Amino acid sequence: MNRNAITAVAFLVVFVGLGAAYLHLSRNVAAAERNAAQAPAFEVDPLWPKPLPNHWVLGSTIGVSVDENDHVWIIHRSSATLGNNEKGLELKPPTGECCAGAPPVLEFDQAGNLLNHWGGPAPGYEWPTSNHGITVDYKGNVWIGGNGEGDAQLLKFTKSGKFLLQVGKANARAVPADKEGVSKFGGNSNDTTSFGRVAKIFVDPKENEAFISDGYLNKRVVVLDADTGAFKRYWGAYGNKPDDTNLGPYNPDAPPAPQFRNPVHCAELSVDRLLYVCDRVNDRIQVFTPAGKFLKEAFIAKKSLGEGSVWDIAFSKDPQQSYIFLADGRNMKIRILKRDTLEELTNFGDGGRQPGQFYAPHSIAVDSKGNLYTTETYEGKRVQRFVYKGLRPVAAKDQGVVWPR
Amino acid sequence: MRILAAVAAAAVVFSSSAFAHDVPDDVVVQAFLHPSGTRVSLVVRVPLTAMRDVDVPSRAGGFVDLTRVEPALRHAATIWLVQGIEVLQDGRALPPGQLEGVRLSLPSDRAFEQFDAARARIDGPPLDPATQVMWEQGALDARIEYALDHPGGRLAWRADVRRLGQRVTTVLRLVTADGAIRAFEWHGDPGVVQLDPRWHQAALSFLRAGIGHVFSGPDHLLFLLCIAIPLRRVRTLILVVTSFTLAHATTLVASAYGVAPSGNWFPPLVETLIAASIVWMALENIFDSVAGRDLEAAGGRAVARRWAATTAFGLVHGFGFSFALRDQLQFAGAHLLTSLLAFNVGVEIAQVAVIVSAATAVTLAFRRLSSPRVAAIVVSAIAAHTGWDWLIERGAVWWQYPWPVPSAAALVAVAIWLGLAVVAAAGAWGVRRLFDRHAGSARSANGANRAAVSGKPAEAGSLCEATESVR
């Protein structure tokens, strides 16, 4: 056989070998995909958002929402949570060239540009002393809660920051100081005019009702008329009448608490009209009908102490909302649950300050393409985007940091 | 007095304000176009914040008075949409459309996910008048009907919607008579957009795009210059450039059919390899010049070596072209392969033009110089330096991405690409054998001719070479 023939045969053998390998591997892949559970996959987008103008910096960032244009809205506590070494530009006199707290409400586009900013005290309404949670509703209105000492109100604005509605009065929860003169505010979870430090609002387009997670002082879910703010109904854990008795510290080995612990941190209604409530410190999600009938509960990372594991949730963007994305600020990760069973499929993230890591992920939202947005409180002070990469077989329970590949 | 007070109160409560807000930053125009018989329906949704200079009836709280809003919506739809959108049939503009219906929708409304739902929204009942909605947070839905000259025909779109916002994105879906959907998305007003192009319209459009793309990318131009520096003969030049084109056509077509890796690491890797290809070619030119090797005088094997290098790098550049072409493929209509080939032909035409111009310029310039070799070294060194800068810059970006974790699915993709590479290598080997045989025959013939002229037998070396080349 001459050299040309040998070369030609070699090409043929390699090609046939590769074909055989391809067939074998693709069968394995198909079999693996059939057997493995699937979960949405994400990669952090380290370049989103773009740097803020005017030497602005974020304070503790405690709310995120995505509107119908896929613009991302966040709320943060700005200068109130910045040290003097971070806000030298706004001190009087200024102590340096950097920096200043950004306005509390910020709107970003998909490219990460800052489009709009507003917020803060003004005549006509009582801005929270410590704003908390932001929701852009189905009419494009912006709802804001607050968990400052005297915050017992929530506010509604237009997207441009025009004031529309205040429900509740600041300092409505004021009580005589206790013997030590310390506690000046107390919960009243059966009040029908004001709240007790509202964490978050969800607005149901079907019934035009606002579901209020109330909150850091009260221990209940409240339902309002979203136009008038009139109280319609409220309930506590298991659908019980809420009770403000101090339950003491959370004990993972004790029987489940009959009431929510503070804070009641989210209340989100799914497409099949199930209301998922974040009972943060009790490490659990409770599920209700919109009328307040208890359906089921699930514990998440039940050994988590301190602030608890169930901070905020968002639903996946498929029509069935098959998955829940849960921000766990205690354990510095995002958990992905199957919505029907509340079983955790996988999680990603880790503690740290690099892209894809977390310092107390506090709030979470999803855009129409399935991308995730998280905000971080305490010293996290940022918003991050995680790009949706489709459904993939679950390869590991703990994915760690989902760096771009 | 009471009447006056009542009138004043009514004026406050039921007021009307001319809405003349700033030009919005981002505006998305959602539209469906559906031909049926002798008519074509356009249903379109725009954010009301883009509908400026409109008298908006408002009620207490600044909300839109939904009982009186329809004339304002019709006015807005007429001046911003009916007068701004033109539909063409077979290249001729249809008469202006008739506004058949308008609705104000809440921002959360999802009717525009499908044509039937969007049309039903506009033809269905309006919002409950008690609904609280701010003008700038709502959406205007409009149905506009156009009369076709005749059933069928090919539709095109021309619009003046750029004035609606700072950045206007049009998302248009053509719902054909048989229910198929063809989706388009573009920014600004690109002129006439053929929604169902004939093959020659698509081909012409992509031919232009191919020519334009070569001139828009400095890295490709620099690579072509590096190819041209040592080559003088037009035939050799065209052969080398064509091998480059065939190679990049392979990967370009493969990418268009979704065979390329989808990881974020891939585009920066390709960009890095393109920079490396410039450095490689420039260094090869420098080494050849320093060694005093004349590529063309050296004959078939030397040219074949360059040809092999340009083929290999052509595969890489093809991926680079595919990134540029990604957003354009929506305009290919039903002629994807034709469009891709036309794009490649456009690239080839532009490359031949560039390389012949460059080779002519290089030849003329070097002819005036006392040492063309030094000039070739200097020009190649500049190219190598520029390519090196790009290599470092792009490599740094690529390096930020971790290597893809090997998985069975990734190995399947690798097997496909290795298979393609084997086919390409086998093809290259076959062509090279033909090269050698052709060169050997030519030398053998020359030797025989010389022998015939001189009356002496052909030189032993020539015969051996010829024999080697046909093995």
Please tell me the distance from the alpha carbon of residue A265 to that of residue A11, in angstroms, as a whole number. 64
Rg (CA), chain B: 32
- In the predicted structure, residue B469 carries a pLDDT above the cut 70: no
Nearest CA in chain A to B401: A405
Residue B254 has pLDDT above 90, yes or no: no
Q: Is the peptide bond before A215 cis (omega within 30 degrees of 0)?
A: yes
Among A4-13, B154-163, B170-179, which is the least confidently predicted range? A4-13
Q: Would you give the DSSP letter of residue B94? A: P
Q: How confident is the model at residue B459 (pLDDT cuts 50, 70, 90)?
A: very low
Is the model's pLDDT at B21 over the cut of 90? no
A84 close to A101: Cβ distance less than 8 angstroms: no
Predicted local confidence at residue B25, as pLDDT: 84
- Given a contact cutoff of 8 angstroms between Cβ atoms, the answer to whether A199 and A263 are in contact is yes
Q: Which of A382-386, B363-367, B434-438 has the lowest mean pLDDT?
A: B434-438
Longest Cα–Cα distance in chain B: 132
Residue of A nearest to B26 (CA): A109
**What mean pLDDT comes out for the span B120-135?**
93
Residue with tokens 């390869």: A395
Question: Rounded to an integer, what distance in angstroms lies between the CA atom of residue B446 and that of residue B439?
Answer: 10
DSSP A53: S
| A14-23, A323-332, A353-362, B86-95: range with lowest mean pLDDT | A14-23
Beta bridge partners of A246: none
Q: Do A15 and B411 touch (CB under 8 A)?
A: no
Judged by average pLDDT, the poorest of A22-31, A72-81, B31-40 is A22-31
Tokens of A103: 């306005």
For residue B125, the Cα-to-chain-centroid distance in whole angstroms is: 42
Give yes or no: residues B221 and B313 share one domain: yes
- SS3 state at B340: helix
CB atoms within 10 A of CB A39: 23
Q: Which residues 6+ apart lie within 8 Å of A165 measured at CB?
A: A155, A156, A229
Closest CA to A121 of A159, A163, A61, A173: A163
Among positive and negative, which fits the CA dihedral A73, A76, A82, A88?
positive
Residue B429 has a pLDDT of: 78
What is the 8-class DSSP label of residue B78? I
In the predicted model, what is the mean pLDDT of residues B303-311? 80
Q: Percentage of chain B surpassing pLDDT 70?
A: 84
**pLDDT, tens digit (0-9, with 9 covering 90-100), for A174-191:** 988 777 777 689 999 999
Q: Are strands A105-108 and A72-76 parallel, antiparallel or unpaired?
A: antiparallel
Residue B436 lies in a domain: no
A107-120 pLDDT, tens digit each: 999 999 999 999 99
Kindly state the average pLDDT of the residues B288-301: 70
The domain boundary residue, chosen from B376, B404, B432: B404
- Into how many domains does chain B fold? 2
pLDDT band at B11 (very low <50, low <70, confident <90, very high): very low
Rounded Cα distance, B220 and B226, in Å: 10
Mean pLDDT of all residues in B334-349: 86
Put simply, the answer to whether A68 touches B108 (Cβ < 8 Å) is yes
Contact A18 B137 (CB under 8 A): no
| Position B442 in a domain | no
- CB–CB of A205 and B108 under 8 A? yes
Q: Is A381 left (phi over 0), alpha (psi -120 to 50) or beta?
A: left
Please indicate, yes or no, if residue B437 is contained in any of the structural domains.
no
Tell me which chain B residues have a C-beta less than 8 angstroms from the C-beta of A68: 107-108
Residues B205 and B133 in one domain: no
Residues B133 and B183 in one domain: yes
> Is B98 inside any structural domain?
yes
CB B138 to CB A14 under 8 A?
no
How many other β-carbons are positioned within 10 Å of the β-carbon of residue A346?
Answer: 20
Instruction: Tell me the pLDDT tens digit for each residue of B172-195.
Output: 999 988 888 888 888 888 888 888
Residues 61-120 of B with CB under 8 A from A: 61-62, 106-108
Q: Quote the CA–CA distance of A325 and A60 in Å, as a whole number.
A: 21
Q: What is the DSSP letter of B145?
A: E
Same domain, B229 and B138: no
- Give the integer Cα–Cα distance in Å for A377 and A199: 13
Closest approach of A347 to chain B, Cα-based (Å): 18
Nearest to B419 among A18, A139, A227 (CB): A18
Burial class for B248, CB neighbours closer than 10 Å (0-12, 13-18, 19+): buried
Length in residues, chain A: 405
Do B88 and B163 reside in the same domain of the chain? yes
pLDDT grade for A259, boundaries at 50, 70 and 90: very high
Distance separating alpha carbons of residues B56 and B64, to the nearest angstrom: 7
Average pLDDT over residues A18-37: 76
pLDDT of B13 > 60? The answer is no
In the β-sheet with A154-157, what is the strand arrangement from edge to edge? A131-136, A142-146, A154-157, A163-167
Select from B404, B422, B450 the last residue of a domain.
B404
- Distance of residue A27 Cα from the nearest chain B Cα, in angstroms: 10
Spatial separation of the C-alpha atoms in residues A300 and A286, rounded to whole Å = 11
Given CB atoms, is A4 within the 8 Å cutoff of chain B?
Answer: yes
Contacts by B262-268, CB closer than 8 A, 24 or more apart: B263/A405, B263/B401, B263/B404, B264/A43, B264/A404, B264/A405, B264/B401, B265/A404, B265/A405, B265/B398, B265/B401, B265/B402, B265/B403, B265/B404, B266/B319, B267/B323, B268/B394, B268/B397, B268/B398, B268/B401
From residue B415, alpha-carbon distances to A204, B54, B418, B419 in Å are 50, 61, 5, 6
Q: Are the CB atoms for B27 and B169 separated by under 8 Å?
A: yes
What is residue B280's predicted lDDT score, i.e. its pLDDT? 93
On whether both B279 and B152 belong to a single domain, the answer is: no
> Between chains, do B265 and A140 touch, taking CB under 8 Å as contact?
no
pLDDT surpasses 50 at B4: no
Residue B2 has pLDDT above 70, yes or no: no
User: Which residue in the block uniquely carries the two structure tokens 């803020």?
Assistant: A52
Query: What are the start-end ranges of the H helices in B50-174?
Result: 70-77, 115-123
Residue B26 has pLDDT above 50, yes or no: yes
Read off the tokens for B141.
Answer: 């839905």
Beta-ladder partners of B56: B17
**Nearest CB partner across the interface for B419, out of A22, A43, A162:** A22
Q: Is B235 in the same domain as B377? A: yes
Do both B134 and B251 map to the same domain?
A: no
Q: Residue B331 in contact with residue B205, Cβ under 8 Å?
A: yes
In the predicted model, is pLDDT for residue B442 greater than 60? no
Query: Looking at residue B435, what is its pLDDT?
Result: 65
Residue B1 has pLDDT above 50, yes or no: no
In the block, which residue shows the tokens 């004959």?
B299
For chain A, the average pLDDT equals 94
| Average pLDDT, integer, range B364-372 | 72
State yes or no: pLDDT of A291 exceeds 90: yes
Q: Do B107 and A18 touch (CB under 8 A)?
A: no
Question: B263 to chain A, minimum CA–CA distance in Å?
Answer: 6
C-beta of residue A265 within 8 angstroms of C-beta of residue A280: yes
Structure tokens that stand for B311 in this block: 């083929």
pLDDT greater than 50 at residue A28: yes
Measured CA to CA, the distance from residue B348 to residue B214 in angstroms comes to 9
Best residue in A7, A15, A369 to probe B by mutation, most B CBs within 10 Å?
A: A15
Which residues of chain B neighbour A140 with C-beta distances below 8 Å?
Answer: 106-107, 133-134, 137-138
The pLDDT score that the predictor gives to residue B423 is 83
| CB-side neighbour CA atoms (13 Å) of B32 | 25
- The SS3 call for residue A353 is coil
Task: Mark whether B223 and B354 lie in a shared domain.
Answer: yes
B423 part of contact set with chain A, CB < 8 Å = yes
Contact A25 B415 (CB under 8 A): yes
Average of pLDDT values for A164-169? 97
Q: Note down the domain range covering B166.
A: 14-196
Same domain, B248 and B166: no
Cα within 13 Å of Cα(A362), Cβ side: 27
Sorting pLDDT into bands at 50, 70 and 90, what band is B310?
Answer: confident
Is B147:B190 a contact under the CB 8 Å cutoff? no
Asked if the structure places residue B417 within a domain, the reply is: no
Residue B471 pLDDT grade (very low, low, confident, very high; cuts 50, 70, 90):
very low
> Torsion over CA of B374, B378, B384 and B386, rounded to 10 degrees?
-170
Exposed, middle or buried, A20 (CB in 10 Å: 0-12/13-18/19+)? exposed
User: Listing from the earlier edge strand, what are the strands of the sheet with B181-187?
Assistant: B98-105, B139-147, B39-47, B26-36, B167-175, B181-187
Distance from CA of A349 to the nearest CA of B (A): 17
| For residue B12, pLDDT beyond 50 | no
Query: Higher pLDDT residue, A35 or B356?
Result: B356
Q: What is the pLDDT of residues B62-89, one digit of tens each?
A: 899 999 999 999 999 999 999 999 999 9
In a domain, residue B102? The reply is yes
CB contact A354 to B (< 8 Å): no
Residue A405 has its nearest CB partner, among B106, B404, B425, at B404
Tokens coding B306: 């360059």
Q: Does the pLDDT at position A202 exceed 80?
A: yes
Rounded CA separation B284/B383 (Å): 12
Residue type, A44: V
- Whether residues B229 and B358 share a domain: the answer is yes
Residue A10's CB is within 10 A of a number of other CB atoms, namely 13
Q: From its phi and psi, is residue B34 left (phi > 0), alpha (psi between -120 and 50) or beta? A: beta
Phi, psi of A267 (to 5 degrees): -150, 105
Beta bridge partners of residue B171, listed in sequence order:
B30, B185
Of the residues B404, B437, B461, which one is the last residue of a structural domain?
A: B404
Which candidate in B29, B104, B132 is best for mutational testing of the A interface (most A CBs within 10 A)? Answer: B132
* Chain A residues within an 8 Å CB radius of B61: 164
Alpha-carbon span A290 to A269, nearest angstrom: 8
Query: Which pair of structure tokens corresponds to residue B52?
Result: 């400026």
Whole-number average pLDDT of chain B: 81
CB A320 within 8 A of CB A370: no
Report which of A31, A68, A9 is spatially closest to residue A365, judged by C-alpha positions: A68
Tell me the sheet residues that pair with A346: A336
Read off the pLDDT band of B366 (50, 70, 90): confident
pLDDT at site B301? 67
Is B465 contained in some domain? no
Cβ atoms of B416 and B259 closer than 8 Å: yes
pTM here is 0.72
pLDDT score, position B178 = 84
pLDDT of residue B467: 33
Are A25 and B412 within 8 A, CB to CB? yes
Put simply, whether A369 touches B (Cβ < 8 Å) is: no
SS3 label, residue A157: strand
Residue A146 · residue A154 · CB < 8 Å: yes
- Which one, of A278, A241, A239, lies nearest residue A262 by Cα? A278
Contact between A266 and A322 under an 8 Å Cβ cutoff? The reply is no
**Are A198 and A146 spatial neighbours (Cβ–Cβ below 8 Å)?**
yes
Chain A residues with CB inside 8 Å of B62's CB?
A: 158, 162
Residue B440 included in any domain: no
The answer on pLDDT for A299 being more than 50 is yes
Same-domain check for residues B261 and B227: yes
Contacts (Cβ under 8 Å, ≥6 apart) of A39 = A323, A336, A345, A346, A391, A392, A394
pLDDT of residue B298: 58
